[in-house]
Structure 1
């Protein structure tokens, strides 16, 4: 019963809290929420990875930029083999996501630049597979925050929940309280998104950036030892919201726009 009452009032409470957070963070109020496309490419060897990298640099990223879409490109922290590569495509809105998806395949410059890649890989292939996640930005951070140029490490976290209602309560926890605490202790947010479609559901995804692993370790320690977190984590409305936490550490490629 307490949980039902909490959910009924959550929209009003979140709205009031989010407005204050957005103003404090310098994020424009009433901004349309961005849509994120997160792609995970799996390869058998590094040569295949390089072919896809050239395709993005020479053809897809320029075409996306023409349509107002930024692209982040990341590799794994460490020398993992076979390699996995990650791309983040940032769309201004759901309407733009739909428009750009169609516009790219009518872009003559893109098709010309991509011809060699398409012809070369149609028969022999490149990646063994790639996964796509479609995400909607959180109310409290409706637009991606561009990291500092000194960013050297990204942490990608996926929080799975046992059901949809639990996932919504965790999202509300971030919107109302947790994201503000992240800002205070130096857990630098890049984006937060709810998975609308993808292999892991129900779940949310967020990305943080740091200068290095040392900063990451120090700032997470500040977070877990803070009285605000200890109080927040004991609230009954946030009980049993996360069942699995997945963590991945990434580094940006030279051509990454994020």
Structure 2
């Protein structure tokens, strides 16, 4: 491969990343009202529970949510080799507002098809539950990124990486500064570099408050590595991380490397 070809390929890659960033930035900026998101994390202990959860989510829950007008329900699992592989199922549900979130249980209770299709899950015996515990986290989107984004990839679901991160603050003040950091530039940098983020959100109810969470996506492992290298090496991040008021804004963090199930909406 000669130098001219290398330059051409490099220019093509850079142009592609900028184009993706422009499209995503346009999509995020169209909406001003802020979305709400629920992340439900099911703890399971064996393959039997995983199979039962898959059956419920695929054949009862997701179709019922679609009938209720909720599109884009994501179901993700920890990638092979991750500590929580085979032990957790993550379900992401987007809502247009808090009222829609509050109204869903009542809608499901009146959905005869859901009650029929989900009977094995709904009426499970106390000593034969389909899961061990459920953790529910409610988020509101950042003001800078109010819209929910559905990524598009040609790679198979098992190849993709959906990275869910949680940043905890030592106090509310430090947490608020980290949210501000995202709103004034960090979120835009992710979008500009083509990370295809699904959401950025303030946690308004959850076990690790005060904290924020965000979900970025990648077509495969190589894409994951390349994007994070681009982020760390960017001029914007180099400047941003040295701003005095944004120092010490993250006291702890959690990272989950996930992949979408074959029945996930995205």
TM bucket (normalised to shorter chain) is 0.7 to 0.9
| Partner Cα distance (1:190, 1:109) in 2 | 30
Please say if 1:90 is aligned against 2:94: yes
1:155 Cα deviation (Å)?
0.7
Task: Tell me how far apart the structure 1 counterparts of residues 126 and 115 of structure 2 sit (CA, whole Å).
Answer: 14
**1:255 equivalent in structure 2:** 263
Q: Bigger shift: 51-60 or 180-189?
A: 180-189
For residue 166 of structure 2, what is the aligned residue in structure 1?
158
**Segment drifting more, 60-69 vs 76-85:** 76-85
Deviates more, 1:210-219 or 1:98-107: 98-107
Distance 1:232 1:92, change over 3 A: same
CA–CA distance in 1 between the matches of 2:253 and 2:86?
23
Give the root-mean-square deviation of aligned CA atoms: 2.0
Kindly provide the CA deviation profile for residues 12-56 of structure 1, in whole angstroms up to 9, marking residues without a partner as x. Answer: xxxxxxxxx999423354532111110111111011111011111
Deviation at 1:257, TM superposition (A): 0.7
How many residue pairs were aligned? Answer: 238
Are residues 1:71 and 2:73 paired?
yes
Q: How does 1:15-164 map to 2 (within 5 A)?
A: 24-69=25-70, 70-79=72-81, 82-150=86-154, 152-164=160-172
Distance between the aligned counterparts of 1:248 and 1:30, measured in 2?
Answer: 28
Flag the 1:114–1:24 CA change in 2: closer, same or farther, 3 A.
closer
1:133-212 equivalence runs, <5 A? 133-150=137-154, 152-212=160-220
The answer on whether the counterparts of 2:162 and 2:258 sit within 8 Å (CA) in structure 1 is yes
Paired residue for 1:217, among 203, 214, 225?
Answer: 225
Q: 1-side partners of 2:186 and 2:85: how far apart?
A: 35
Counterparts in 2 of 1:223 and 1:249: CA distance versus 1, 3 Å: same
Residues 71 and 30 of structure 1, relative CA distance in 2, 3 Å threshold = closer
Partners of 1:34 and 1:142 within 8 A in 2: yes
Q: Deviations over 1:47-106 (max 9, x none)?
A: 111101111111111111112223100111115555211110111111111122321112
1:231 corresponds in structure 2 to 239
Paired residue secondary structure (1:249): strand
Single out whichever of 42-51 and 76-85 deviates more from structure 2: 76-85
Pair 1:78–1:176, CA change in 2 (3 A): same
Distance 2:180 2:227 in 1: 23
Q: What runs of 5+ residues in structure 2 fail to find an aligned partner?
A: 1-21
Shift of 1:138: 0.9
Distance in 1, matches of 2:180 and 2:40, equals: 25
Unaligned runs of 5+ in 1: 1-20
Question: Greater CA deviation, 76-85 or 96-105?
Answer: 76-85
Q: Post-superposition, which runs of at least 4 consecutive aligned residues in structure 1 deviate over 6 A?
A: none
1:122 CA displacement: 4.3
Is 1:23–1:29's contact at 8 Å kept on the other side of the alignment?
no
After TM superposition, give the deviation of residue 119 of structure 1 in Å: 3.0
Q: Secondary structure at the match of 1:241?
A: coil
The answer (yes or no) to whether the contact 1:22–1:29 under 8 Å persists in 2 is no
CA distance in structure 1 between the partners assigned to 2:47 and 2:28 by the alignment: 39
